[in-house]
Amino acid sequence: MPLQLPIYMDHAATTPCDPRVVEAMLPYFTEKFGNSGSRNHSFGWAAEEGADYGREMAARLIGATEKEIIFTSGATEGNNLAIKGSAYMYQKAPAGAAKRGHIVSCLIEHKAVLDPCKRLQKEGFDVTFIEPPADGVVTAEMVKNALRDDTILVTIMWANNELGTINEVRQIGSLCKERGIIFHTDATQWAGKMPTDVEADNIDLLTWSAHKMYGPKGVGALYVRRHRPRVRLQALQEGGGQERGFRSGTLNISGIVGMGKACEIAMAEMEHDAIRLAKLKAKIEAGVLAQLDSCVVNGHKDKRLPHITNISFGFVEGEGLMMAVKDIACSSGSACTSASLEPSYVLKSIGVGDELAHSSLRLSLGKWTTDEQVEHTTSAVVQGVKKLRAMSPLYDMHKEGIDLSKVQWAHH
């Protein structure tokens, strides 16, 4: 069979829905369409059975109990509920007062964590954003140094979505436990791909999303610990009191069933997938580094997810690079903000220069990525970069051994 183009290498942005997930969901749009809140007839009971299944699978995936799972619309909502909901509940002073409490996060969190933290900052909370080191890994030591007597919440992601780097979650959790501080982790890139155990990993609040793990879009879950300690949250959305009052609104039963199926499949297949994808990712990195000079794989060498690689290419220009690899659906190190292209704040925060950030690619592999696709991607990237460099006077100078950092450029 000929290779289909473009090749999807952007699984960190979203994944295709597993056909087994779609199949499990279908009855819940039609014959099992009931509202799980309808307690007095079989339509409601059938819907509730679906929600129970999803809740059981979601809980099992992360080592939690069913009562600790709150279904949401995705990780953005889960992060907002976890961060604002706990900050309001555990604040040291009421709204309007100064010194409402201290929160620790990190500069390379997803916007769905950074922006709720910034909102709280405006409302009178103090927030420390840890500056990550060049390898992108947030350690327990860094968190420890940021803690204060009035710290109420630590929110550190499990794995970074741009770099794939893995933070010291278990150790950070243990530190927070010792100090009686609530610990939240955005596990959207981690859960369903890597083993998760909220007990052993010392987590109080954990967010994830179905569409990053072969489930449907528009559904996610928030784990809220019920014992040692019993974590309380202030609801952000009020109404019918569903999800133990944490998240009112009629349950998205088909979505919850789909998420449950995705969790069930993940438990059975994640180990096999991780081993396979780590090999494929290593193949891309080795192929690129063997055939091209002046490129760097960003983030820690080993502490990275099996399926994400982020590579910066020297002596090419960002837009040219994206054009050159247009058959590969992937992400660049540029983010569209209004009219202009901004270098990724994640790459910037770990010390990658603006130019190099623009000429970076994030390639993220998935369950159905083939050897053939990986080979084609590697050669497309290598050929693309070589072609651009062949037209680059800077690259010529570099090849001639001229140190470009010492060149006196004429200013016009």
- Which residues participate in catalysis according to the annotation? 336
3-state secondary structure 194-257: ECCCCCCCCCCEEEEEHHHCCCCCCCEEEEECCCCCCCCCCCCCCCCCCHHHCCCCCCCHHHHH
- Contact flags string 162-191 toward ligand PLP, x per CB under 6 A: ------------------------x-xx--
Measured in whole angstroms, the distance separating CA 67 from the mean position of its chain's CA atoms is: 24
Q: Are strands 308-313 and 360-364 parallel, antiparallel or unpaired?
A: antiparallel
Least spacing, CB of residue 216 vs ligand PLP, in Å? 11
As a whole number of Å, the CA-based R_g of the chain is: 23
Residue closer to ligand PLP (CB basis): 215 or 314: 215
Q: How many angstroms separate the first and last alpha carbons of the chain?
A: 55
Among residues 46 and 262, whose Cβ is nearest to ligand PLP?
262
Nearest in space to 269 (alpha carbons), one of 208, 214, 311, 316: 214
CB of 191 to ligand PLP, least distance (A): 10
What is the per-residue binding string for ligand PLP in 100-139, x denoting contact by CB under 6 A?
Answer: ----------x-x---------------------------
Task: Indicate the residue among 11 and 389 with the shorter CB distance to ligand PLP.
Answer: 11
Token pair 């981690």: residue: 190
Site for ligand PLP in 58-97 (CB under 6 A): 74-76
411's tokens: 């200013």
Q: Decide if 161 contacts 106 (C-beta within 8 A).
A: no
Q: Is 82 or 324 the residue whose CB approaches ligand PLP more closely?
A: 82
Question: Shortest distance, CB of residue 86 to ligand PLP, whole angstroms?
Answer: 17
Number of residues that bind ligand PLP (CB under 6 A): 13
Q: Is 343 in the site for ligand PLP (CB under 6 A)?
A: no
Backbone angles phi, psi at 173, to 5 degrees: -60, -40
Question: From the list 36, 155, 209, 312, which residue makes contact with ligand PLP (rule: CB under 6 A)?
Answer: 209
**Contacting residues toward ligand PLP, per CB under 6 A:** 74-76, 110, 112, 157, 161, 186, 188-189, 209, 212, 220
